[in-house]
Structure 1
Amino acid sequence: MDRVAGHKSALRYLYPPIEPFDRCLLDVGDGHKLYVEQCGHPDGIPVVVLHGGPGGGCSPAMRRYFDPECYRVVLFDQRGCGMSKPSASIHANTTWHLIGDIEAIRERLDIPRWGVFGGSWGATLALLYAQKHPGRAAFLVLRGVFLMMQRELDWFYAGGAGQFHPEEWRRFADMIPVEERDDLIAAYARRLFETDITEQTYFARAWCRWENALATVAGDAAGGEAPGPYARAFARLENHYFQHHGWLDRDRQILDDMPLIAHIPGIVVQGRHDMICPPRSAWELTEAWPRGELRMIGLAGHALSEPGISEELVRATNGIARQAAQFGL
């Protein structure tokens, strides 16, 4: 969940706000046009930012995790998200379409190799992209690791996390009749895809409210009710991807395929108290990754806006900038 960095205590670790030096809508086919922007130094270290969700979108705060004198930062809204068109569309919208889109952006911008920065679902996508194109990813910086495994979905949508937040869980589950609560992802899907837009938005806001409530240690990440259009896009796309288990062939696919990227260096920043993506996945990932370094943040949850998470991510990007020559960039 990357709907972000609103906490003043986190913002103090970031670079000052900047504006893009380039924006475009990139036609990637299938009726989709992606919003793409570039920030920082046009000749800097290229890095692509992969937002969370699925269904989130980039925000201006995401530009600020990189020294603008050192990095050429590429941000884009994935299919159906943010300023990409059409909004909330699940047509031709799968993990493998998104990986193709990342390559299309890289080719359009004439970037031979780049770093990949992603959190939550963005970390999932970063890993799958690197495994599909191991020669294109120079380094990975990941946060709040999600591996699209059944145990992770069960944790968040079958009552695991609800044991720590029973009041919010009841509010989320009580939206659904008792006889449908054995599979809340499927139950919400019926309401997000088989009803009119008013009903879709109503349930989409409930879907987002559950996730937002657990995003930070302080439990204050929601920032009020999610705007209707954002909530609808986020909930529909996230639910769509979860119903299909990310179009992966097997449950442990990412972990099993880590030998494909054993040569790529990476930093994983993980909140010790992440209630959305528990630390077990980040730990197992780095255990299987010879060049992956786990940086566990003691007093932090899932959100990009957690102060300790933001501080460590900026430290990671600064460290990479100092060693850019080692990455061939």
Structure 2
Amino acid sequence: MIGPTIKDVAREAGVCPSTVSRALSGSDVISEETKGRVAAAAQKLGYTPNTAARSLRSDSSGMIGIVVPDISGEFYAACASGVYHTALEHGYSVLIADTEKRDGSGADCVKALLERRADGIIFIGGGSDAMVADTAARGIPVVTGDSSMEGVPSVTFNNRETVSRLVKALYDDGCRSFTYIGEPTETHRNLRERLDGYRDGLCACAEAEGREMIDERLDRDKLKAGFEIYCESFANIERPEAVITSNDLIAQGIISAANKAGRAIPDEIAVAGFDDARASAYWTPPLTTIRQEAGVLAEECFKKLYAMIKKQEVKNTVLRQKVIVRGSMRISEESFKKHLAH
């Protein structure tokens, strides 16, 4: 059976075949409204452009790549989905590379994207600086999301500022002992920024005492490792008044272990996470967390990459995060307004 043709898409979208071709290739002469209409028609009919033939006729393959550290993670999956759908509206297909559990920090994934002549690559959540720099040095448009490096356009969050403000808010409410629990930070700038923000907050609070617990197990199974870390580190020693973690799954594991041990949250130990995972609002107690909008990050990353493909200049963007206060950590209205309502 012969599949739908470009003429079928043109008929469905109410345009001529040449407009369909230009719209799906991302031509600047076609309006965004028309591109969206053509993309919707192509998706409805199940039309797949012949990208191989198109790449022979031009320098464009009509395909971009996304590199993420763990596609099974809720935040990264949402980012990849957001880029995918935004790219589709502009006539681009997408290949997603997951670097988790790969030797060479995912260099083989990037090599595969380059061999398929990707028009550009978005790195979300980190990866080795050498890998990103090497890709950019090849002349291909590169954008980093939720991470940054010198000389590469980026869309990031204000991780460092947000965590620092959270520490200060808790300090103003009387908290004096803190513990930060997170993954190793060597290849993830966003994680380094969160840890640095924690340190900044402690430095600004004269009587605050802080510990840091960086554990490689958190790279593998955050929920299980969070549970184990509480049992190993907090069961028989003096517990901190507040625990700030780099990920909601870690915080969920901490809370589960504390609940099992009969500890009252937040009265005996307060806990905060990061990412606002879907389950966090339904945990017991509901998890206080730092929310960052995956959809906004994805859209901004694609906009930058698209502009670079079109030979336009772009600037870095910093997106603001939001502290969502729930039952696992109390923050007074006064402290919230002073430090977090920005």
Q: What TM-score comes out, normalization by structure 2 length?
A: 0.37
Structure with higher helix content? 2
Q: What TM-score comes out, normalization by structure 1 length?
A: 0.38
Q: Which has the higher contact order (CA 8 A, sep 6+)?
A: 1
Bigger Rg over Cα: 2
